[in-house]
Amino acid sequence: MSEYNASILKKGQSAQITDINIDEIPLKLIEMGCLPGNDIELIQIAPMGDPLFFNVNDSKVAIRKKTASAIYINQESIK
């Protein structure tokens, strides 16, 4: 697991996806646009820290933290 993945984002932060672990990411998420090169933004965190509510490629979607940690991001692109 890479250190820089979507689960480390803070609320309101966004970053560019560099890679995804294809075994951990359901196809449905890929189809929503969770693909290398696209941006991912953390919109909301559920009360107990999980799941996470992202905007990825203009799709609004909630996933569990474990799945988010299989979405690798570019550290420099975090904003």
Partner 1 sequence: MTPKIIKVALIGNPNVGKTSVFNQLTGLNQQVGNYPGITVDKKTGVCKINQITKAKIIDLPGTYSLNANSIDENVVIELLLNKNDEDFPDVAVVVTEVENLKRNLLLFTQIKDLEIPTLLIINMSDRMKQKGIELDIPFLEQELKTKIALISSRKNIGIDNIKELILNYKQLSTEPCLNASSIDPEYFNRLRKAFPNQLLYKLWLVITQDVNFLNLQRNEIENTFTRSHTELKRLQQKETIKRYQFINDTLKIGQKIDKSKATDFQSKLDNILTHKVFGYLIFFGILLLIFQSIFDWSSIPMDFIDTTFSKLSAFTKENLPQGKFTDLLSDGIIPGIGGIVIFIPQIAFLFLFISVLEESGYMSRVVFLMDKIMRRFGLSGKSIVPLISGTACAIPAIMSARNIENWKERLITILITPFITCSARLPVYAILISLIIPETRFLGFSLQGLTLMGLYLMAFVVAIASAFILNKVLKLKCKSYFVVEMPSYKVPMFKNVALNVLEKTKAFVTGAGKIILAISIVLWFLGSHGPGKDFDNAQEIIETEVYSSNTKINPSVIPDRVAEYKLENSYIGIIGKTIEPAIKPLGYDWKIGIAVVSSFAAREVFVGTLATIYSVGSQSEEEATIKMKMAEDMDSKGNRIFNFATGVSLLLFYAFAMQCVSTLAIVKKETNSWKWPLIQLAFMSGFAYIVALIAYQTLK
CB of 22 to partner 1, least distance (A): 6
Cβ closest to partner 1, residue 28 vs residue 79: 28
List interacting residues with partner 1 (CB under 8 A): 22-24, 26-33, 35-36, 38, 43-44, 46-51, 53, 57-64, 66-67
Closest C-alpha among 79, 74, 64 to residue 7:
64
Q: Residues with Cβ < 8 Å from 48, sequence gap 6 or more?
A: none
CB of 1 to partner 1, least distance (A): 15
